[in-house]
Amino acid sequence: MSIFEIILIGIGLAMDAFAVAICKGLSMKKISLKKCTIIGTYFGMFQGIMPTIGFILGISFQEIITKVDHWIAFILLGVIGINLIKESFLNEDNNINDQVNLKTMLPLAIATSIDALAIGITFAFLKVNIFLATTIITITTYLISFIGVIIGNKLGNKLEKKAQIFGGTVLIVIGTKILLEHLNIL
C-alpha cells in the first residue's frame, strides 16, 4: 500500500472526526487555539491508537485468514464507507456542548475512531508499516479536526454531510482497488 493510499485512508477515517469537530465548532460561541488543539489531539490520538490495536489483532490471526485477506479488506472498507455515507443522510441532532474536557472528548474520540480498528486489521493482512500508517492517520486526523472546529464555528453544518460522503467514497474505492489488485484485475 502506497503512502498516497494511506493518506487517503487517513482522510477517509478522519471524516467522522471532522463532522464532530464541525459540530463542536458550531456549539462554541468563541473558539480558541487551545480548544482547537485539544479537539484535534483527542481525535488524532485515537485515530492512531485504534489501527494499532487492530493491527495487533490482525497479526495474531494472520496465518488463519491470509487466503481471504483481500476480501476482508474489501468488506471492512466497504462497510465502513457505506456506513459513513448512510450516516450523512441521517438527520441526527448532535447534543455537543462547549466543553473539551476528558469527560466530553473521550467518548467522542472513541466513537469516531472505532472504524480505524477495522482498518488496523486490514493493515495487518496487507503488511502495511503500522508506524508509518498510524503516524499519517494521526497527523491527518489532527489537522482535519482542528480545521473542522474552525469551519464549524464559521460556516455551520453545511459541510458535515459532504465530508462523510467523501470519506465513505474514498474508503469504498480503496477497498475495491485492493480486491481488484489481488484478483489480478488491475
Judged against a pLDDT cut of 60, whether residue 104 lies above it is answered with yes
Q: Are 137 and 47 in contact (CB under 8 A)?
A: yes
pTM value is 0.74
> Residue 148 corresponds to which cell in the numbers above?
473542522
Choose between 100 and 130: higher pLDDT.
130
For residue 88, give the C-alpha cell: 450523512
Mean pLDDT (the chain) is 84
CB of 24 within 8 A of CB of 154? no
Q: What are the C-alpha distances in Å from 134 to residues 46, 92, 146, 176, 184?
A: 10, 30, 18, 22, 28
pLDDT value at 86 more than 60: yes
* pLDDT tens-place string over residues 149-185: 998 888 755 666 777 787 778 778 877 887 888 888 8
Residues 12 and 16: their CA atoms lie apart, in Å, by: 8
Q: Over 70: is that where the pLDDT of 91 sits?
A: no
Segment of 66-75, 90-99, 145-154 carrying the highest mean pLDDT: 145-154
With a CB cutoff of 8 Å and minimum separation 6, the contacts of 97 are 27, 104
Give the C-alpha separation, 29 to 13, whole Å: 27
Domain layout of the chain by residue ranges:
3-182
Closest CA to 46 of 123, 144, 127, 115: 115
> CA distances (Å), 124 to each of 57, 104, 118, in order?
8, 32, 10
What band does 97 get if pLDDT is binned at 50, 70 and 90? low
pLDDT at 149: 92
